[in-house]
Amino acid sequence: MPRTTLPQTLLILKPDAVQRRLTGRILARVEDKGLQIVGMKMIQISRALALRHYGVHRKKPFFKSLIQYITSGPVIVLAVQGKNVIAITRKMMGATFGSNAEPGTLRGDFGVSDSFNLIHGSDSPEAARKEIALYFKSDELHAAALSDFAWTYDLSEGKPV
């Protein structure tokens, strides 16, 4: 089965994750789960890009601080794919605020702040498509055939089960 037919999502390891040197540990957990990173780069999100990405929150009281936070330092942007990738990554992230997140989740294990929350993940397939396109050109996404694919997904029926 071609890997490109698997659902994809965007993850952003936010400035606090980068500054606290948690990126390697977070990346390892994404890969340990069996998800495939198909795009990755470190960038500084510009104000213009932040406004496009988070424009849906424009009228919310936290909007100004969100834009200030996400543009405050480098981030790691990831395009990740796998079966049920959006639901899986959102569960892995945990509750929005570290103080409320369950142990075992990324925010529960690494976060305590109610404003800096380490990681962004797309919340729907539509959002994932739009967000991935904001950060990656199509030639920047690479879905290699991985040798462990058949062991990560039961392919006995010809597709991931």
pLDDT in tens, 8-64: 999 999 999 999 999 999 999 999 999 999 999 999 999 999 999 999 999 999 999
Task: Dump pLDDT digits (tens) for 69-95.
Answer: 999 999 999 999 999 999 999 999 999
Burial 5-37 (b: 16+ CB within 10 A, else e): ebbbbbbbbbbbbbeeebbeebbeebeeebbbb
Amino acid at 68: Q
Q: Which CATH superfamily is domain 3-152 in?
A: Nucleoside diphosphate kinase-like domain (3.30.70.141)
Amino acid at 51: L
Q: Hey, which residues are catalytic here?
A: 120
Query: How many residues does the structure list for the chain?
Result: 161
- pTM (predicted TM-score): 0.92
